[in-house]
């Protein structure tokens, strides 16, 4: 039997151990130390965001977004249903109502027409989730936000090093959130970042990040008293997480290039199956520069996907479906509401299949494509 192919193999660049040792030798292990600053400087330089704050997770960054938006119970936030649960729960925690709309079946990203139809007098924000590291239609979403006086937040959990019209995902809306979870292109086990793109929001963001205090301003000599000002929380990761992450960030260009090369190999290998009508490959709009985070296919039916997962597993290949649409979940029905016609969302939930993709693959993309063809009865 051929060597098993795991779905993901967490990245190690070789620099992490030295940076962890340096952090431990420096005896600054809690948050907001020198490695945190180096990561934030790197991210600000790379994304062009006005201020970046490392967080314990992308979830934490989204919860900070909800606080920065000043959401009140009953306020509405429009978002896709085909996304991770914390895209919605971060806002529901503040009493806001997630309003789920359909996705574009070509990209699995938020459909701007659905957003426009869902806007009400209670709408306060739109959450753009960049699925698989491919940008949403940001031109349309920015125009809608401006026309209706809404805030635009980017859930760029999967979007590190991906761009829209040359701009880093997460840096385009009012606020953005990145993930550095083990499953992402660059990671520190668990981690994230808040991107603050409106300078006027920076002081409040720093207060929230410092547990509701003015500690940052106090250390810069801007205030005389260090005190509690408003609600915040423990959003900062430790210096150990930041040290590990720095070793990853410094390899970002090479990692992204390798992942994109693997993505393209999948795309070439699966072209015959798409021509034969057996699946649909991902679509990347001209304005989007992807990062090779996920390679997925849309299969003809739920049954075809279940069969493919089982047969790939029997060949030692891990492949998985993705989100169960939030609008159909118990919590989604309790805390949010759905727009009509969630057809593309249901299709993705039933038919989308993610294939293994990680740095260090050799012949794996072609082997996976061949096994998938066999499961579909083509080879």
**pLDDT tens-digit profile of 178-222?**
999 999 999 999 999 999 999 999 999 999 999 988 888 888 888
Residue 258 to residue 269: CA distance in whole angstroms: 17
Instruction: Tell me what pLDDT residue 40 has.
Output: 98
CB 299 within 8 A of CB 320: no
The reported pLDDT for the residue numbered 1 is 58
Band (48; pLDDT cuts 50, 70, 90): very high
Condensed to tens digits (0 to 9), the pLDDT of residues 278-330 reads 999 999 999 999 999 999 999 999 999 999 999 999 999 999 999 999 999 99
CA–CA gap between residue 305 and residue 197 (Å, rounded): 40
Q: Is residue 359 pLDDT above 90, yes or no?
A: yes
Residue 214 is predicted with a pLDDT of: 87
Q: Please name which of 320, 319, 337 lies closest in space to residue 328, comparing C-alpha atoms.
A: 337
Tell me which of 109 and 340 has the higher pLDDT.
109
Q: Which helix (H) or strand (E) holds 258?
A: helix 252-269
What count of residues does the chain have? 379
Does residue 340 register a pLDDT over 90? no
- Dump pLDDT digits (tens) for 135-145: 999 999 999 99
Angstrom distances, CA of residue 95 to CA of 74, 165, 328, 359: 6, 35, 19, 40
Residue pair 335/92 in contact (Cβ under 8 Å)? The answer is: yes
Q: Note the pLDDT of residue 225.
A: 86
**Long-range CB contacts for residues 306-310, cutoff 8 Å, separation at least 24:** 307/375, 308/353, 308/372, 308/375, 308/376, 309/353
Which residue is it, tokens 């040359």? 166
Q: 379 falls in which pLDDT band (50, 70, 90)?
A: low
DSSP 35-56: HHHHHHHHHHHHH--SEEEEES
Whether the Cβ atoms of residue 214 and residue 83 lie closer than 8 Å to each other = no
Res 289: pLDDT: 98
Task: Give the chain's mean pLDDT.
Answer: 96
Rounded to an integer, the average pLDDT of 102-113 is: 97
What H or E segment, with its residue span, contains residue 331? helix 330-335
Residue 205 in tokens: 């963001």
Domains of the chain, first to last: 16-249 (3.40.640.10), 252-375 (3.90.1150.10)
The backbone region for 95, taken as left when phi is positive above 0, alpha when psi lies in -120 to 50, beta otherwise, is left
Rounded to the nearest 5°, which phi and psi values hold at 249? -60, -35
Average pLDDT of the segment spanning 265-283? 97
pLDDT exceeds cutoff 70 at 124: yes
Section 133-160 average pLDDT: 98
Distance between CA atoms of residues 173 and 236, nearest Å: 23
Q: What is the DSSP string of 50-92?
A: SEEEEES-HHHHHHHHHHHTT--TT-EEEEESSS-HHHHHHHH
Helical (H) or strand (E) element with 260: helix 252-269
Separation between Cα atoms, residue 235 and residue 199, nearest integer Å: 20
129: pLDDT strictly greater than 70: yes
**How far does the chain reach from its first CA to its final CA, in angstroms?**
18
Q: Three-class SS of residue 297?
A: strand
- Structure token pair of residue 77: 């936030």
Q: What is the pLDDT of residues 55-106, one digit of tens each?
A: 999 999 999 999 999 999 999 999 999 999 999 999 999 999 999 999 999 9
Distance from C-alpha of 54 to C-alpha of 341, rounded to nearest angstrom: 38
**Cα distance between residue 274 and residue 282, in whole Å:** 10
**pLDDT grade for 31, boundaries at 50, 70 and 90:** confident
């Amino acid at each position: 039997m051929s060597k098993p192919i795991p779905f993901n193999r967490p990245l190690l660049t070789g620099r992490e151990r030295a940076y962890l040792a340096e952090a431990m030798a420096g005896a600054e292990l809690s948050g907001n130390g020198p490695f945190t600053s180096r990561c934030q400087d790197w991210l600000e330089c790379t994304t062009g965001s006005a201020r970046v704050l490392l967080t314990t997770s992308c979830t934490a960054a989204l919860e900070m977004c909800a606080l920065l938006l000043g959401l009140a119970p009953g306020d509405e936030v429009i978002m896709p249903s085909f996304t991770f649960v914390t895209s919605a729960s971060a806002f529901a925690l503040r009493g806001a109502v997630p309003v789920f709309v359909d996705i574009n079946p070509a990209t699995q990203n938020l459909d701007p027409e659905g957003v426009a139809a869902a806007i009400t007098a209670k709408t306060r924000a739109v959450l753009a989730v960049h699925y698989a590291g491919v940008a949403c239609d940001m031109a349309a979403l920015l125009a809608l936000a401006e026309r209706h006086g809404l805030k635009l937040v980017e859930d760029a959990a999967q979007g590190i090093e991906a761009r829209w019209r040359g701009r880093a995902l997460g840096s385009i809306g009012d606020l953005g959130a990145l993930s550095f979870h083990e499953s992402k292109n660059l990671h520190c086990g668990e981690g994230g970042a808040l991107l603050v793109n409106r300078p006027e929001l920076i002081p409040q963001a720093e207060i929230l990040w410092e547990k509701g205090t003015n500690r940052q301003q106090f250390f810069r000599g801007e205030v005389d008293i260090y005190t509690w000002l408003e609600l915040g929380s423990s959003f900062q990761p430790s210096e150990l997480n930041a040290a590990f992450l720095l070793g990853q960030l410094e390899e970002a260009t090479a990692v992204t290039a390798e992942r994109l090369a693997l993505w393209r190999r999948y795309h070439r290998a699966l072209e015959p199956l798409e021509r034969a009508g057996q699946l649909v490959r991902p679509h990347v709009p001209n304005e989007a520069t992807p990062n090779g985070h996920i390679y997925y296919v849309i299969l003809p039916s739920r049954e075809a996907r279940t069969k493919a997962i089982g047969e790939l597993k029997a060949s030692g290949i891990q492949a998985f479906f993705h989100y169960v649409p939030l609008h159909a979940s118990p919590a989604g029905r309790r805390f949010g509401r759905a727009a009509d016609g969630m057809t593309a969302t249901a299709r993705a939930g039933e038919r989308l299949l993610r294939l293994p993709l990680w740095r260090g693959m050799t012949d794996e993309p072609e082997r996976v494509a061949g096994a998938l063809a066999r499961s579909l009865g083509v080879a």
